[in-house]
Chain A
Amino acid sequence: MNLIQIAIPIQAEPEASIGLQEKIGFAMLTFGIVVLVIGATGLFNSIPLLYGLASIGMSVVGGFVVTAAQLRDKLPGIKNDGIMFSKLKRRGLAGWVLGVAFTGFYVLLYWYPAALTHVIHSVDTLSLLMRNKPADQWFLYGTFYTAAVIIMGIRTIAKYRNSKYQLYRTISVVTAQLLFAFIIPAMLIFFNSKEFYFHYFWPLKYDVLFPSTLKGLLASNSNLVVFMGFWSVAMTFVATPFLTYYLGKRWYCSWVCGCGGLAETVGDPFRQNSDKSLAAWKVERWMVHGVLVFVILTTSLLWINSAYQGEVLGEWSYTFSKAYGFYIGALFSGVAGVGFYPILGSRVWCRFGCPMAAYLGLLQRFFSKFRITTNGGQCISCGNCSTYCEMGIDVRAYAQRGEDIKRASCVGCGVCAEVCPRGVLKLENK
């Protein structure tokens, strides 16, 4: 039979693959954002409820629609297909644009809140309802943050739905954000108590153990506020070492913390961008422990100062803590930490700047049962684990030698174990 003569039927072109539902979802999302931006001119000041629904509400619904569409027809199991080709997720133009947009938002929030005056109206109705007072820039920020964590949290759950660990962990971290960072603080304001975030402790919320703050809380005539004082001390010095001993730092970083919540949800699409090199690890160790030392020093100095009735440091300690708040609190955790997600990966702040992570990390490294164990010689050195480690740990370096992984920075998200194609990794407390 002559090869050329065999007649082969020509097949029809396959149809275009981007679904209608996905398009509608994206359209709603874009519409919401456009409305939000237009509102910055003050155009919708007279219709705050409608403005809120058409902007934030529309985006939230659009987000759901997109997620649902992307999931259809996919079997459960890790699908990281095409991530390295994505302009958004792999530092392409879209990634940079998003990074600049995030950063720009933080710059406005911290330094030019006036520019947001009219946008704030989009959450006025919600604020009145929840806190019995009009919205301010921080309530706007909290609403954005919580909405983003919820929508992207649903995406995270859908993506990792083959794993119960991911399911429980994501539900926990999203719920913590919704309750401790959004609903409870608003309720406290509603009932004219002190605004308080029960899931942030020293050294992350460094000023809570400053003498002025702590003494203020404990001296209050409200039992609830006194409780806040005790809570702060107990969480830092009792609960944290105890829980970290049994569970590793993950009980906080990837199950409770709000920064962790954002990283695990909004940040998840960018986790592969964290730097895995040994050089990056060196920088990380100096920086993150440097920040911890700084917080400890500041706090200690303030207590010494307070013991000597302010004679030692005078005004200086105040300036000191103020500077810290600005550089670390605003610049680092917000602008760089979240703004650079698309470029440096989802845990920039947690990895290089968070004093709580440093404290938990030291506990985890030296006083904890937690570790990631490796399964004999089953590792094929493929590199999926290292690539998808948001903390930039070179997991493979340990796995291919059959060694347990006991690194201070590991937040126990468990994604290395999920993406491992050979079942090599397991998070264990043993």
Chain B
Amino acid sequence: MNVVVIGNGVAGVTFARQLRKSTDHQITVVSAESTHFYSRPALMYVYMGHMEKEHLKPYEDWFWAKNRIEILNDFAQRINLRKKHVVLANTAPLPYDVLVLATGSKPAFFNWPGQDLQGVQGFTTMQDLDRLEINTKSCRQAVIVGGGLIGIEVAEMLRSRGIEVSMLVREESYWNTVLPPDESTIVNAHIREHHVELQLNTELRQIVGDDSGRVRGVVTTDGKIIPCQLVVISTGVRPNIDLASSSGISVVRGISINNNFETSEQDIYAIGDCAQFPDGRVEQLWYTARHQGKHLAGNITGKVTPYEREPFYNSAKFFDIEYQTYGTVPADLAGIESATWKSENGRKFLRLTHQYNRVCGFNALGIRLRSEVCLKWIAEGASVEHVIEHLHQADFDQEFTAVVKNIRLHRSVA
């Protein structure tokens, strides 16, 4: 059988690897962005000089040939559903028996005046990394539009090169659509501690250029003018559905799939950032893309079972503050009780959420929790008393550094 995967991100590659483990199918992975699979969340570290591009590859180059996974650096222009082949930009059409779309996502731009000026860019791909290198050659001031995870990463990157950064955030506090107020406030303070001009309640109205078409500043909705030589747009990403929709596959926000990853077309599946489930959700995380790829490989080689969302977990890093979250910790805590703890210097924070005295989630800032233990407590619906008493079991900090061993959580009065 001839299996073709479009997209060599973590979804496509995990699928291909898992499929290879249990079958002898011919597997081809096509991607336009890079010859080899690399870690997208690690792009920032190349700009900051922590790593080189080569370090971003999770597998050495010999891995692909050894596992008989053919990699093709090309752009898929169209899928011919009738002839069952993929039309490529530079090579002959690629026939498939099974086609997996793992085309990822694209940054969302909102048609601001001036967004096509030189020095305006997003930050999601290897090409964006190269572009940023060029755009910051003689850049002293930059504006980041949008908070969120990519925005704060870009702020850290630019600060590492001594560039003055203004960050425009629409909401009244950083990432408060996801973080509850305490957490969001801690991150606000930390962003400012790193000398980033955090402008809350502020949106972009337009970007201003000079005669040569280079950006030289932005105007915010409240009429403020901020001079800059670089604008990074990080107002979120949307599923990349270009290939699917132009080939006649059903799409809504993402590529429409059922819970078995099947698209509207026979033998064509979609996984990762680009796929949208029947309940309307899109899962746009590294972990979910990996789970989905693994699950689909299982479905193709064995019994078909519907994909079920794993208990939620995620992590990120806001400059020096690590963040981990498990289970249910909504930004709006109405109807959910919490027990919290905050360190004296204000950089470490722990929240345990519960309903009817059953633990349902954790948020940790500057503290490492043991994933296995937290997820077990949540799955079991462990009592708040039990968790507080056994909190040390969830310690995952370096030796001698443990925080959770010694802290007392304060239960909020509902």
Chain A positions near chain B (C-beta within 8 angstroms): 1, 3-4, 6-11, 13-14, 17, 75-77, 80-86, 162-165, 167-168, 277-278, 375-378, 380-384, 386-387, 396-397, 400, 414, 417-419, 421-423, 426-427
Is the CB–CB distance between B114 and A380 below 8 Å?
no
Interface string of B213-241 (1 = CB under 8 A from A): 00011010000010100000000000000
Residue of B nearest to A377 (CB): B287
Which segment, of B259-267, B355-363, B365-373, faces chain A? B365-373
A-B CB contacts (within 8 Å), total count: 149
Which chain B residues border A9 with CB–CB below 8 Å?
Answer: 225, 227
What is the number of residues of chain B that contact chain A, defined by CB distance less than 8 Å?
59
Which chain B residues border A414 with CB–CB below 8 Å?
Answer: 398-399
The answer to the question of B245 belonging to the interface, with a C-beta cut-off of 8 Å to chain A, is no
Q: Which of B311-353 contact A (CB under 8 A)?
A: 313, 315-317, 319-320, 322, 324
The answer to the question of B308 belonging to the interface, with a C-beta cut-off of 8 Å to chain A, is no
Which chain A residues border B401 with CB–CB below 8 Å?
Answer: 163-165
Is the CB–CB distance between B324 and A378 below 8 Å?
yes
How many whole Å from B204's CB to the nearest CB in chain A? Answer: 13
Q: Within the assembled complex, what's the spacing in Å between the Cα atoms of A426 and B319?
A: 21
Is the CB–CB distance between A384 and B51 below 8 Å?
yes
Q: Within the assembled complex, what's the spacing in Å between the Cα atoms of A168 and B194?
A: 28
Which chain B residues border A83 with CB–CB below 8 Å?
Answer: 49-50
Interface string of B45-67 (1 = CB under 8 A from A): 11011111001111010000000
Q: Within the assembled complex, what's the spacing in Å between the Cα atoms of A13 and B315?
A: 38
Which chain A residues border B208 with CB–CB below 8 Å?
Answer: 3-4, 6, 8
Is the CB–CB distance between B58 and A82 below 8 Å?
no
Chain B positions near chain A (C-beta within 8 angstroms): 10, 39, 41-42, 45-46, 48-52, 55-58, 60, 113-114, 140-141, 160, 162, 164, 193-194, 206, 208-211, 216-217, 219, 225, 227, 286-287, 290-291, 313, 315-317, 319-320, 322, 324, 368-372, 375, 396-401
Which chain B residues border A162 with CB–CB below 8 Å?
Answer: 320
Q: Within the assembled complex, what's the spacing in Å between the Cα atoms of A48 and B60?
A: 55
Q: Within the assembled complex, what's the spacing in Å between the Cα atoms of A361 and B60?
A: 25
Which chain A residues border B41 with CB–CB below 8 Å?
Answer: 380, 382
Q: A278-B60, A426-B368 are in contact. Are A80 and B49 (CB under 8 A)?
A: yes
One of B49, B194, B375 near A81 (C-beta < 8 A) = B49
Please list 6 pairs of residues, one from A and one from B, whose beta carbons are closer than 8 Å in the complex, sorted by A's number.
A14-B162, A375-B372, A383-B58, A384-B42, A384-B45, A422-B315
Which chain B residues border A380 with CB–CB below 8 Å?
Answer: 39, 41-42, 286
Q: A6-B217, A384-B51, A414-B398 are in contact. Are A378 and B313 (CB under 8 A)?
A: yes
Which chain B residues border A378 with CB–CB below 8 Å?
Answer: 287, 313, 315, 324, 371
Interface centre among A4, A8, A164, A426, by most chain B C-beta atoms within 10 angstroms, is A8
How many whole Å from B12's CB to the nearest CB in chain A? Answer: 14
Q: Within the assembled complex, what's the spacing in Å between the Cα atoms of A381 and B51?
A: 13
Is the CB–CB distance between A376 and B372 below 8 Å?
yes
Residue of A nearest to B395 (CB): A426
How many whole Å from B295's CB to the nearest CB in chain A? Answer: 13
Which chain A residues border B219 with CB–CB below 8 Å?
Answer: 6
How many whole Å from B319's CB to the nearest CB in chain A? Answer: 8
How many whole Å from B166's CB to the nearest CB in chain A? Answer: 12
In the A-B complex, the 10 residue pairs with the smallest Cβ-Cβ separation, listed nearest first, are: A376-B371, A77-B320, A382-B42, A423-B368, A164-B400, A82-B49, A8-B217, A381-B58, A80-B50, A381-B39
Q: A76-B320, A382-B41, A418-B398 are in contact. Are A375 and B114 (CB under 8 A)?
A: no
One of A376, A400, A427 near B313 (C-beta < 8 A) = A376
Is the CB–CB distance between B209 and A4 below 8 Å?
yes
Which chain B residues border A397 with CB–CB below 8 Å?
Answer: 58
Which chain A residues border B141 with CB–CB below 8 Å?
Answer: 11
Is the CB–CB distance between A165 and B371 below 8 Å?
no
Q: A165-B400, A383-B51 are in contact. Are A422 and B160 (CB under 8 A)?
A: no
Is the CB–CB distance between A387 and B227 below 8 Å?
no
Is the CB–CB distance between A426 and B209 below 8 Å?
no
